[in-house]
Amino acid sequence: MEEKSNQGGSLKKIMYVLTAVAVVLAVALAYIWIQKSSLVNELNLEKEDLTAQMIALQNDYASLSSDYDVINSQLDSSREEVSQLIERIKKTDATNRAKIRQYEKELGTLRSIMRNYIVQIDSLNTLNRQLTADAAAARREAAESRRQSEELSRTVESLSDQVAVGAVIKGRGIRLDAYNASNKITDRSSRVVRLVTTLSLVENDLAPKGPVRVYVRVKGPDGILLTNDEQRTFTFEGEPMICSASREVDYQGTEVEMSIYLNGISEYSKGIHTVDVYTDQALLGSAELMLR
């Protein structure tokens, strides 16, 4: 009887120990489950916040507009990127932290791009307003000039004046292009190593024959003239002017195609670049180039 009593006591002790172990395991499992649930909830909230930020950015892009086809095309491309990123975020599990971090970086990049668009659009709008004002002033000046010209033409006309006008060399097909280090045309400001102005001197039998130097004045989006160590000056309508680059050609009255290279510029800005082309006698024309 005593032996049976001892065995029963041992079994009770074992049961108590197993019960205690089970309780500890249950508490540990409950703690792990709660921690995991809390982490999953945090990740879901993080994903929801990222999605909300992307939707807000999508709305910001939708509100942007421009009067320039080049910028509108770039905006459409960026809007499509935002839409695709939102779809990828929605399909990604919140626990995939590597993907979520990647999407956060892409969100930052798209925000930076949008800020650049805003700056670029504001700059172009400011330039457009200035050009509109300049055009109005030019029309007034042109009207006054026409009035004065009409008065002058009624008092004096001479064949020699007509011959002088006809003898001036003119240009056409003026174009400004940017080239990268591989000598390919690019519109990326960060890749530009040179600007090239191409044009043709028009055929003119009345114009003087011989060497003719053509000058280009290239200005950046801020209106500042781009120059390098080879800059030179020329005189136009009695006033000295600095040019960005120049080239001399042999003009014999027939059409001459030519290119003028501008090298040695350390950095190019995003925006519209302009070129004005001159000879010593005339402004041949202008052209624009948009860099992004």
What pLDDT score was predicted for residue 160?
A: 46
Give the pLDDT confidence of 3-48 residue by residue, as tens digits: 555 666 677 777 777 777 776 776 666 656 555 555 456 667 777 7
Give the pLDDT confidence of 144-172 residue by residue, as tens digits: 878 887 888 776 664 444 455 667 999 99
d(CA 58, CA 111): 10
Q: Which residue has the tokens 């197993």?
A: 18
Q: Above pLDDT 70, what percent of the chain? A: 85
Give the pLDDT confidence of 110-126 residue by residue, as tens digits: 878 878 877 787 777 77
Superfamily of domain 169-291: Immunoglobulins (2.60.40.10)
Phi, psi at 75, each rounded to 5°: -65, -45
Mean confidence (pLDDT) of the chain = 82
What pLDDT score was predicted for residue 290?
A: 97
Give the pLDDT confidence of 241-282 residue by residue, as tens digits: 999 999 999 999 999 999 999 999 989 999 999 999 999 999
Average pLDDT on 173-186 reads 96
Phi, psi at 171, each rounded to 5°: -125, 160
d(CA 20, CA 174): 92
Phi, psi at 177, each rounded to 5°: -130, 150
Q: How many residues does the chain have?
A: 292
Give the pLDDT confidence of 71-81 residue by residue, as tens digits: 778 877 788 88
Which pTM was predicted?
Answer: 0.46
What pLDDT score was predicted for residue 120?
A: 80
Asked if residue 211 lies in contact with residue 184, where contact means CB atoms within 8 angstroms, the answer is no
151 HSE (CA, 13 A, CB side) = 5
Contacts of 173 (CB under 8 A, 6+ apart): 198, 199, 200
What pLDDT score was predicted for residue 32?
A: 60
In the chain, where are the structural domains located?
2-121, 169-291
d(CA 71, CA 83): 18
Assign 266 to helix, strand or coil.
coil
Q: Write the DSSP symbol of residue 223.
A: S
